[in-house]
Amino acid sequence: MPEDLLWETERFEGSHRHECFGGANRKLSIEDGLVIFLSPQIHNMGDDGIHYNKEFMDYVHRIAQQTWQDYYGKTKEDFIKKYGKNYL
Tens digit of each residue's pLDDT (9 = 90 or more) over 6-35: 788 888 888 899 999 999 999 999 999 999
Amino acid present at 3: E
Average pLDDT, the chain: 90
Inform me whether the pLDDT recorded for 1 exceeds 50: no
Contacts for 34 with CB less than 8 Å, ≥ 6 apart: 19, 20, 21, 28, 64, 67, 68
Inform me whether the pLDDT recorded for 5 exceeds 70: no
Inform me whether the pLDDT recorded for 56 exceeds 80: yes
Inform me whether the pLDDT recorded for 4 exceeds 80: no
Res 3: pLDDT: 45
